[in-house]
Chain A
Amino acid sequence: MIIHHPILGPRDAQEFVYLGDANLIDRPDGMTAGVEVFHEYLYQRTNPAGEHQELWYHEQGDRSWLVITRNTVTHEITKVELARDVARSRGRSK
């Protein structure tokens, strides 16, 4: 597969390491959330057959974590963003 890195352009997916569903961005706060919430966060997956937002790490590249929108049936990639930007847009900071 080819991933169009937002900074570096097309790169072979072989350079990346896959993590999984981009919802992993929304980590609950451990001081307020309990096992219930963390269980839902860490273990439950929508696992769609179709468009899927997922986290990839450019390990053999610039070490950026990316959020990639990819179709799990056709493997077509329609969007690639820096995970840091997505995380901020979802309200994550420090």
Chain B
Amino acid sequence: MTQSNRITGGQIDRTKTLRFTFDGIPYQGHPGDTLASALLANGVKLMGRSFKYHRPRGPISAGSEEPNALVELRSGGRQEPNTRATVAELFDGLTANSQNRWPSLRFDAMGINDKLSTFFAAGFYYKTFMWPKSFWEKLYEPIIRRAAGLGSVTREEDPDNYDKGFLHCDLLVIGAGPTGLMAALTAGRAGKRVILADEDFRMGGRLNAETYAVGDLQGADWAAGVVAELSSMPNLRLMTRTTVVGAFDHGIYSAVERVSDHLATPTDGKPRQILWRIYSGKAILAGGATERPVAFENNDRPGIMMAGALRAYANRWGVKVGERVAVFTNNDDGLRTALDLQAIGVDVVAVIDSREGGDLLPGIRHLQGAEVIDTAGNLGLKSISVRQANGRSETFAVDALGVSGGWNPNVNIHSHHRSRPVYDPAIAAFIPGKDGPPGLLVAGAAAGQMSTHAALKTGRDAAIAACDLTNGPDLPQAEDAPVRITPLWHVAHGKGRAWIDQQNDVTVKDIKLAKQENFTSVEHLKRYTTLGMATDQGKTSNVIGLAVMAELTGRSIPETGTTIYRPPYTPVAMGTLAGRSRGREFKPFRLTPSHHWAKEQGAIFVEVGNWLRTQWVPKAGETEWRQSVDREVLATRKSVGICDVTTLGKIDIQGTDAGAFLDRVYANTFSTLAVGKCRYGLMLREDGIVFDDGTTARMSPSEYVMTTTTANAVTVFRHLEYCRQVLWPDMDVQLISTTEAWAQFSAAGPNARNLLAKIVDQDISDAAFPYMGAGNITVGGLRARLFRISFSGELAYEIAVPTRYGDALLREMLAKGAEFDPIVYGTEALGVMRIEKGHVAGGELNGQSTALNMGLGKMVSKKKDSIGMVLSQREGMTAENGYRLVGVKPVDPQAKLTAGSHFLEKGAAAVAANDGGWLTSKVYSPHLGCDIALGYLKAGDTKIGQRMRIVNLLAGLDTEVEIISPHMFDPEGERLRG
């Protein structure tokens, strides 16, 4: 199809032709086109359907404020719903489809809603669909949900990459129109580090859409010249296709750079978009202004658009939207459109000017004191009805109408800190109020300075102020026309609907109804009618909406107030906000020193925080995980097993006060611990709840090595720093984490010592290295550490070497100890053995339990002050019948237990009143030959030996169990002292 509406001029490259399709129909355009300008050039005005009434719609703007021309861009995993055709850059092979219509854009069955619109008044759904009760979820809501929404989402993963980054500058200039260019030029020439960002793919802003001159150049050419100079400055960073979307605290702004959206697919896996966090000294908002419509009957037909947009399509894109055009305006800017269009030979049928008096435009039918009262044309504008000053009405056959209700400064970013814009009657619009983001200046049209001269001047002056300069460049000559406007918000006429928020189908009638029902506060108006809640966030509708409410209530616009804009300025893709943190890269991996060995063995890994730990190591022939775990447990208890325990937190604590410090942070005492020994330590929070536990060894009079649980390594370290810096700042204590510096392995089982004896250079006989001994040793001359501690209840040691030797140490232990058939066990077997021994871990250390609950009450020393000691004595935490840790086994050894099941007395109903507690951890014990568990049971210490039930209502399980001591294996601990 030929570009029937393409005319001469504009900033498009006619030497290249781009092919694209819309709803499957092929069209052609040129580089420099947007999807909207290209479709208009091909005579296509109908681009979408509205949300509620499914009214046929075309674009009303040429920018990011567009509420109507939303399409599904691209396809497959790249399908992009709700994309504004007015900012989608044309590329060869672009495919777009209309959305929210069925079966087709021209014939949309849901158009029936428009005929029934009287039943769909604002908030009607709050008043009905309530009977019968069940019908809402079964009937009404499913229908509403199916009908709702605009574009549709793919179910495929987005194939493109996204990236993030950080930028720093003295001055961030938001918007590269005349204001922003002048500001950047001023600061740039002064040598400041400047970032100039603009959402458009061509800098120059409105100058690209206007015909008038700056200096002795066309505005667009002047802009190109400035851009060229700025590009040559090393201290300048020009960012086109970059929208500053949010203003955050202390000069931080977020910006989205669309790196590849103008390409069919990103080149070579480069990011589609980048989220930049910009750290600015100062910032200047030079975001320009947005033209707003006037509400009149049927003002939403394809072909009716903002006068400035009509002008932009002609001047920038060489497109005449219509053959016979009219303009409806309440201000001088609308007249520009008429003159520009006339100048390029478009038939301007009439200018409908709602104002009385003033000069008449030469050579154009200029009707003053007139208003457009209605329009006709279903899928595209055919005619408009005009009521003239004398009351006579006349109909004009036109296929395009430009509407100008005045221009709203783009205050959005300035209100991101909840600063309320203030009304300026001189331009009949809101300008930035007080208490905007500190360091943010506003200039040009965004500040209500509407002429080109004012833009250039305030842009320069803002840069001078922001950068503490004394002067700036001379200003080129430019038009300085005053704003002449007589506010007209809506045309009072007839019974038809006059649209205010076109996407959400909010009409003047809805505002009237809201007023009638006393939803008169602007917040209620917005929430009740959905005014300004659409994808354009009310850029074209909010102001006229509240102005109409002001008229209806007889209040002034300032009295009526305004809502504020929230981030983001324009919608931002989730992928961009997530950046590289996706899929497997969501969080970094932490790998243990034995990871590569375990991978060779085909081990199964489990996520523990960011760590990947070996869960079990299957051997040939093992088909079910329990086989592997049982084998690992039995082999360990029979001979020796090795487990990588590197993930446990290790903290080096040094200083002459280290012992006294540990007495404060642990509930039990460490200052009395002998050098070369270690001790189990219990750490409380200040509220008396158990925080963490682990063994801590004294390596020298002034050096301790603390171990923490894997889960709390970071929080314990933070807590210790807090204690030494904030609570006891004069204690001589220094801390550093050594978690990753040492590869640490547990060797457990009757042959643990025999195996290690073959590895280490020192005598580790029971006499030389007794239970709970600790010390520095060597392994073949290599510095190492040995701790005789046991989590499994076996004769056990933990041996540590510098991490780089961890893999070799493991292989060495397996090789040199071969005669003992050592096995490597994972976290599952570890869990089995610690539960058999009744040691608390994750399930018991739940942040809700006291030492008393765990049966460790005696460990909390009252002889000294320690974190949590006092508050652990509160009545509610020391009750006789409180939870106590118990062991549990089923009466029938075949019966299965589930962690999370609850205790009930025999015969008691499964209701909360009878809830006795719950199972915290459960495993199968190959030694006891049945499931065993630990649990917190009310007054559990008095119930040892009793029979109870544990129920799991989720699985319908109800099992008789025996309450036993948590120390289910070798309760006397003979093995570990062996």
Residues of A within 8 A of B (CB): 1-2, 12, 17, 19, 24-25, 27-31, 33-35, 38-39, 42, 55, 57, 59, 63-65, 74-77, 82-84, 87-88, 92-94
Contacts and interface: CB of A to CB of B under 8 A. Distances in A.
Contact of A57 (B248, B718, B730): B718
A76 B657 CA distance: 39
Given A1-B249, A76-B438, A39 B871 contact: yes
Contacts of B252: 1-2, 12
B726 A65 contact: yes
Interface in B864-881: 864-866, 869-871, 873-874
B267 to A, nearest CB: 32
Interface in B432-448: 435, 438
A42 B870 CA distance: 11
Contacts of A19: 722
Contacts of A87: 725-727, 729
A94 B870 contact: no
Nearest to A27: B727
B686 interface: yes
B870 A24 contact: no
Contact of A55 (B660, B726, B728, B870): B726
Nearest to B875: A35
A64 B726 CA distance: 10
Chain B interface size, under 10 / 10 to 19 / 20 to 34 / 35 or more: 20 to 34
Nearest to B864: A31
Interface in B242-260: 248-252
Contact of B729 (A12, A74, A92): A92
B729 A84 contact: yes
A38 B870 contact: yes
A83 B866 contact: no
Nearest to B723: A27
27 contacts: A1-B248, A1-B250, A2-B249, A2-B251, A17-B718, A25-B726, A30-B869, A31-B864, A31-B865, A35-B870, A35-B874, A38-B686, A39-B871, A42-B686, A42-B687, A42-B871, A57-B721, A64-B725, A65-B722, A75-B249, A75-B250, A82-B725, A84-B725, A84-B726, A88-B729, A93-B730, A94-B730
A59 B721 CA distance: 10
A35 B872 CA distance: 9
Interface in B841-892: 864-866, 869-871, 873-874
B279 interface: yes
Contacts of A59: 714, 718
B249 A94 contact: no
A19 B869 CA distance: 21
Interface string B214-255: 000000000000000000000000000000000011111000
Nearest to A89: B729
B870 A33 contact: yes
Listed residue (B279, B721, B864) with the most chain A CB atoms within 10 angstroms of its CB:
B721
Interface of B: 248-252, 279, 435, 438, 657, 660, 686-687, 714, 718, 721-722, 725-731, 864-866, 869-871, 873-874
Given A57-B722, A75-B249, A93 B869 contact: no
Contacts of B722: 19, 55, 57, 65
Given A1-B249, A1-B250, A35-B871, A30 B866 contact: yes
B863 to A, nearest CB: 9
Contact of A24 (B438, B726, B728, B873): B726
A88 B726 contact: no
Contacts of A77: 250
B816 to A, nearest CB: 41
Given A29-B865, A35-B873, A83 B726 contact: yes
A94 B871 contact: no
A65 B870 contact: no
A1 B660 CA distance: 38
A92 B360 CA distance: 82
A87 B723 CA distance: 11
A93 B866 contact: no
A2 B439 CA distance: 13
B354 to A, nearest CB: 43
Contacts of B866: 30
A12 B722 CA distance: 20
Contact of B728 (A28, A35, A94): A94
Contacts of B279: 2, 12
Contacts of A38: 686, 870-871
A63 B870 contact: no
A35 B868 CA distance: 10
Given A1-B249, A34-B870, A35-B874, A88 B730 contact: yes
Nearest to B737: A63
Contacts of B435: 74
A21 to B, nearest CB: 12
**Among B725, B729, B864, residue most surrounded by chain A Cβ atoms (within 10 Å):** B729
A39 B871 CA distance: 8
Nearest to B727: A27
A75 B438 CA distance: 11
Nearest to A77: B250
Contacts of A75: 249-250
Kindly list the 6 A-B residue pairs having the minimum CB-CB distance in the complex, ordered from nearest: A30-B865, A2-B250, A93-B730, A84-B729, A1-B249, A65-B725
Given A2-B250, A30-B865, A92 B718 contact: no
Contacts of A55: 722, 726
B254 to A, nearest CB: 13
A94 B250 contact: no
Contacts of A42: 686-687, 871
Contacts of A65: 721-722, 725-726
Nearest to A22: B726
Contacts of A25: 726-727
Given A35-B874, A38-B686, 15 more contacts: A1-B249, A2-B279, A12-B279, A19-B722, A24-B726, A30-B869, A31-B865, A33-B870, A35-B873, A75-B249, A75-B250, A92-B727, A92-B729, A93-B729, A93-B730
Nearest to B728: A94
Nearest to B657: A94
Contacts of A64: 725
A57 B687 CA distance: 20
Contacts of B731: 94
B721 A63 contact: yes
B870 A30 contact: yes
Nearest to A34: B870
A63 B869 CA distance: 26
Contacts of B714: 59
Nearest to A31: B865
